[in-house]
Amino acid sequence: MNYPDVKGREEILKVHARNKPLAPEVELAVLAKRTPGFTGADLENVLNEAAILAARANKKTIGMTELEEAITRVQMGPEKRSRVITESDKRITAYHEAGHAIVALKLEGCDPVHEVSIVPRGMAAGYTMYLPKEDMMHVTKNKLLDRIAMALGGRVAEQLKFDDVSTGAYNDLQRSSEIAHKMVTEYGMSDSVGPIFLGGQEEVFIAKDWGHQRNYSESLAAKVDDEVRKILDEQFERAKAAISSDMAALDRLANVLIEYERISGEEFAAILSGEDPSAVMGKPKKKAPAKRAPKAPKPEPDQGGMPNDAVPTGSEA
């Protein structure tokens, strides 16, 4: 699929914004930059969703608050505040998402953090959202490696803080493995395997080998597996080094998430730079009484802390 570039997205937004009462502060050019990887249908959904949100709030115009929430809904689904969350789960999710965000901040190839949240959306317990500085047609090897390290940051943070890991990294591990596998078999980014395409014929059902029929030997397959594992292990260690170098920052960010549940990219940067979290976030949030979980809750599948990690880009990675 060909995704519209920033100018194309702005033109699409203009079409769908007709007859919609946008607030004076809304700039479609800004929204276009905010929505890389969105299709025309996605952009239409954003404006329609924002209109519904404004109507529910009895507002006469659609503001940036509604548009930001609409963008997140299109990417991640609506918030699920009715879901019962134990204090233990909340703490794990906070450290998990803090791990993603800290690695993203410390590695040059990662996109800037736009928002970090531990409010459940869709199948995710929380998410870290990134905002690319510009549309990119090509993704370099170093950027892909940084993305893998960032994706593994949640698992690393859990391990460092709790000396244990949860199922919350399921989606992170899946995405990291897919990127590493494509680097070796499709992008020719492995020195050991070499500049060769080994993608094979795609299967209807994803069973093994990431949905491809293997068209190469067992010995080469073993080398591919070794290279994928090597990439993942190396990026895990990079994420570990990035987080362990400042555990106080991890604690600080996780505690802010536990208190406020959601922070913007600007607030995240200020807190990590050493500013007083209470000053950055304003008055302390009044905590609601903790909800008690049912005695025998029905388990829900946990897609983990990085469902998009919330960036739908035009890259296959």
Q: Residue 12 is part of which domain span?
A: 6-76
Model pLDDT, residue 303 = 42
- In the chain the first and final C-alpha atoms are separated, in Å, by 14
DSSP string for residues in 97-158: HHHHHHHHHH-TTSPPEEEEE-S-BTTBS-EEEE--SS--S---HHHHHHHHHHHHHHHHHH
Check whether residue 165 and residue 243 sit in a common domain: yes
Q: Is residue 124 part of a domain?
A: yes
| Candidate list 97, 158, 261, 267, residue with the active-site label | 97
- Segment holding 26, helix H or strand E: none
Are 209 and 234 in the same domain?
Answer: yes
Residues 72-119 pLDDT 10s: 899 888 887 767 789 999 999 999 999 999 999 999 999 999 999 999
Higher pLDDT, 102 or 132: 102
Among residues 93, 278, 83, the alpha carbon closest in space to that of 267 is found at 278
- Tokens 């100018």 sit at which residue? 7
Clarify whether residues 169 and 266 are in a common domain: yes
The answer on 155 and 30 residing in a single domain is no
CATH number at residue 70: 1.10.8.60
**CA separation for the pair 122, 150 (Å, rounded):** 21
Task: Output the pTM of the full model.
Answer: 0.77
Are 60 and 141 within one domain?
Answer: no
Inside any domain, residue 158: yes
92 burial via Cβ count (<10 Å: 0-12, 13-18, 19+): buried
User: pLDDT by residue (tens digit) across 21-76?
Assistant: 999 999 999 899 889 889 999 999 999 999 999 999 999 999 999 999 999 899 88
Within a domain: residue 23?
yes
Active-site residue, 203 included: no
R_g of the chain, CA atoms, integer Å: 21
Check residue 288 and give its pLDDT: 47
Return the sign of the alpha-carbon dihedral for residues 273, 253, 82, 156: positive
Same domain, 110 and 64: no
Is the same domain home to 246 and 153?
Answer: yes
Is residue 208 domain-shared with residue 71, that is, in the same domain? no
Q: What is the CATH number of the domain that holds 152?
A: 1.20.58.760
Does a structural domain hold residue 295?
no
The reply to whether 231 falls in a domain is: yes
Distance CA 285, CA 170 (A): 31
Pair (31, 146) in one structural domain: no
